Amino acid sequence: MSSTKKKRELDLSAFPPGTVTEYSTLVCLACTFDIFTGQLGLAPRTAYSEIKKYTPTIAELTSPQASPPFFDSEEKNPHCPYCKAAKRWHAPFDTFRIDGGKASDAARRKLIKSLPQKDNQFLVIEEKTDKRSVFFNWLENLDHNLELEDDAWLLEISRAYLTRLEPKTDWAEVFEDLRAIRRSNRLSEGWERDGARLFLAPAVYNEAMIVQYLVSRSHVHGGRTFEGRLTLQELIRRLRYGGYLEAKGISQGDQFETFEKLIETLSGGAGNVTVYYIVDRTEFLAKVKSVYARYAS
Ligand SMILES: [Zn+2]
């Protein structure tokens, strides 16, 4: 969900790129008040205090498909798709998902400590997940933000992957005026910029290619990579000939088992991760108050 554009109130600049995902959705307060007063039979005053305490679920706040009383809209003056209520009845919910880990822990603690406490304006919800889902969440966000048909796409995806791999490097600088990315058998690890080209060690190059495949794959045409469109089978064959699979201890198994192991390697192995959701209720609380004032009068 990434509908309403608004100025960011939380300072997220201390987080390495790729560790924070932002979600935004709208809740219709006309629908919400109707549920509380109509279906639940509460008096407006009681409905008001219940709604103020209301905490949507993480699924409601982050699902790509909003369900009532939530909706997403890119319009400037949207109407509720369920009851047609105008904008003054809508309240935005902004949710920030922070992937736990060494790269983000200090920044996260500092941020959470700095949040205002009044009226539970901000909620912090923790959830345990595994490295694989963190990796897929990261992939999904790449998917939404990049233009697949553009050639610069291959560079952008590689840059995103390198940023995930080495969050402390200034990749904006490394990628400035960059024209091409090449595999370099001279490098045993990492990368090296030479003129307008960026050379990647074979393993890094292969992994950038796997990410390109994962982001762009479709069942019919395979995925788009540095080496053209490849089916899963073709991709695996290249990885095998290049020695990548053997180096990662993935030499056994059919293509689906190999694929699973590739995902595990790129995800950073097995293991659990804590994900922190920060829900910003500031505008919601303000809106509930003004809507109630109108409702009760
Ligand atoms: Zn509505």
Average pLDDT value for the chain? 89
Mean pLDDT of 231-259: 92
For the chain, list the strands marked E by DSSP: 20-28, 70-71, 90-99, 122-130, 180-183, 191-194, 197-200, 223-225, 228-230, 272-280
| Distance in angstroms (rounded) separating the CA atoms of residues 47 and 292 | 9
Predicted local distance difference test score (pLDDT) of residue 74: 87
What letter does residue 218 receive in the DSSP assignment?
B
| 3-state SS class at 154 | helix
Contact call for residues 82 and 31 (beta carbons, < 8 A)? yes
Q: What is the pTM of this model?
A: 0.80
State residue 82's pLDDT score: 97
**Rounded distance from Cα 245 to ligand 1 centre (Å):** 53
| CA 293 to centroid of ligand 1, rounded, Å | 17
How far does residue 95's CA lie from ligand 1's centre (Å)?
A: 21
The rounded Å distance from CA 31 to ligand 1 centre is: 4
Greater pLDDT, 7 or 127: 127
Cα(43) to centroid of ligand 1, in Å?
19
Contact 277, 96 (CB under 8 A): yes
Q: Are 95 and 281 in contact (CB under 8 A)?
A: no
Is pLDDT above 90 for 54? no
CA distances from 154 to 16, 148, 150, 213, 227 (A): 21, 9, 8, 10, 10
How far apart are the CA of 281 and the centre of ligand 1, in A? 19
Is the pLDDT at 293 greater than 60? The verdict is yes
Range scoring the smallest mean pLDDT among 8-17, 92-101, 130-139, 250-259 = 8-17
CA 289 from centre of chain: 31
Q: Please, which pLDDT band fits residue 206 given cuts at 50, 70 and 90?
A: very high
Q: Cα–Cα distance between 30 and 78 in angstroms, integer?
A: 14
CA 67 / ligand 1 centre spacing (Å): 11
Neighbours of ion ligand 1 (CB under 5 A): 28, 30-31, 80, 82-83, 85
Q: Does the structure show a pLDDT above 60 at 8?
A: no
Centre of ligand 1 from the C-alpha of residue 276, in Å = 29
